[in-house]
Amino acid sequence: MNEPVPLIVGFKGTQLDEETKAHLLEINPMGVIFFKRNLAEPEQIRSLVAEVKRLLGPILVAVDHEGGMVNRFSPELATPPAPFALNFTGPQEQKQATQMLAALPAHFGFNLNLAPVLDLFDADSEAINIRAFSRDPEEVGRWGSMIVEAHEEVGLGSCGKHFPGHGRVRTDTHNRAGVADFTAEELQAKDLLPYRRMALPAVMTSHLIYPAFDAQNPASLSKAVITDLLKGQMGFKGLVLSDCVEMEAISASFGPEEIVAKGKEAGLDLWISSYSIKADLGFQKALADAMRAQGLAGKNPKVRDFLMDYPGRKPQLFRLDEAVALRRETIQRGGVKPAPPWELAVVSSKAFNGINRDEPEEGFRYWMKMGLGELVPNSLELSLDDLDSAEEYFKEVRQSGRSLLLATQAARRHPNWEKFMQLIENMKSVLHLDLGEGADIIGSIEGKWNCFGSDRLTVQAICRELKVGLATGVPDSAKP
């Protein structure tokens, strides 16, 4: 087998077919990363993780698991809510969430989890948004330290991201290049502060350009950011990983040879090729060939030390009802809950449907119906592109006297949002369920809940909260 190269690669499927096995053996990566496409029921996860380890030996077995919208595991397994939602809870709930986050990867034999997100929250961010814990860098640092500690307790390595800070920039580098046009002083005082508050075993770099440090190169390929700032000024000694180099912010401008050459010069320890964007084995092979040609193949003492430091322990998994209860704690409830039965109307801008959006298997409406049964006799999706139909629908609801559950997710991003709000000014008995970060503000609606997610566990929490105090008669079989 070839000498190992400093790649962490993704692959397709829930099992290793012969093509994938041959590919992995030919490349001999130092790590493999798993996504939702690879992870099904518990026994399958255990089997696949073990098979990868048998095939390649002692390697990094990674997962990109943050909780909330970035959940790589089945909804039958307990995961915590979005980090931003937990910002509204207390220390006890936050501690439970960090332990819940670490438990799943550790339980199934992973040794590296690409969390915590140390970016600062901004409602306009396409890439980060509720993946971030807070606007306050001190609070983000405190939260990140809790996550690292929870991972350490189960022998699992963690990774802070996206250095030197992605949250305050709207651009999603999965889709295009972007610039973090802040001064060095502002970056030091805000975005970099969480990294100075904790001892991280690994750091993942951002693909944004930071002109305050390097006006030419994205951070993942910048010597000024990785070697001079992170390793030099900040004294970081752990592993430095790139974000996935298949992302457009990198791969649209650089070929595999240049990605490797510039990353090597910058001081990267590991490059990630997730297979989530290009789905191209040839691209991964070209990266590996470039690494061998540029003298990067062979044993890596930093990876060896990481594997020794994080042997992993198998903790008990949390129960699903604990995960749902934690989500109920995060729901921010305001106004009066209208009486059932409820019409359910769902509106979305489709703004967050990229690589980090793991859609519920059957969709939000389906699970709301399963959870509320006859309490929601009708449901539909409203298009902000078709305001005439929306107006007609609201008219029918008003005339019927029925109550309305209006669920939105980043709908304010649509150019018709202001006109849409005007259509519901005369609506009565409405409860607005904001499934995003709480920024979809509808001034004429008194009742508003900030729910911070549309995954199946969050839907269960919403349904249980809606039914509080109701003699619903909903049979147990209809409960989520």
Question: How buried is residue 2: exposed, middle or buried, by Cβ count under 10 Å (0-12/13-18/19+)?
Answer: exposed
Contact in structure between 167 and 116 (CB atoms under 8 Å): no
User: Pick from 124, 42, 94, 31: which is nearest to 412 by CA?
Assistant: 124
Q: Which residues contact 366 (CB under 8 A, 6 or more apart)?
A: 360
Give the model's pLDDT for residue 350. Answer: 60
State how far the Cα of 468 lies from the Cα of 465, in Å rounded to an integer: 5
CA distances from 388 to 153, 382, 393, 419 (A): 56, 10, 9, 11
β partners of residue 204: 241
The predicted structure's pLDDT at residue 472: 47
Q: Please give the model's pTM, rounded to 2 decimal places.
A: 0.93
Amino acid at 474: V
* pLDDT tens, the chain, 480 aa long: 789 999 999 999 999 999 999 999 999 999 999 999 999 999 999 999 999 999 999 999 999 999 998 999 999 999 999 999 999 999 999 999 999 999 999 999 999 999 999 999 999 998 999 999 999 999 999 999 999 999 999 999 999 999 999 999 999 999 899 999 999 999 999 999 999 999 999 999 999 999 999 999 999 999 999 999 999 999 999 999 999 999 999 999 999 999 999 999 999 999 999 999 999 999 999 999 999 999 999 999 999 999 999 999 999 999 999 999 999 999 999 998 999 999 999 997 764 444 444 444 458 999 999 999 999 999 999 999 999 999 999 999 999 889 999 999 989 989 999 999 999 988 889 999 999 999 999 988 989 999 999 999 999 999 999 999 885 444 433 444
What single letter denotes the amino acid at residue 336? V
Per-residue pLDDT, 362: 59
CA 59 – CA 9 distance, rounded (Å): 11
Q: What is the pLDDT of residue 480?
A: 43
Q: Active-site positions?
A: 174, 243
Distance of CA 358 to the CA centre of its chain: 9
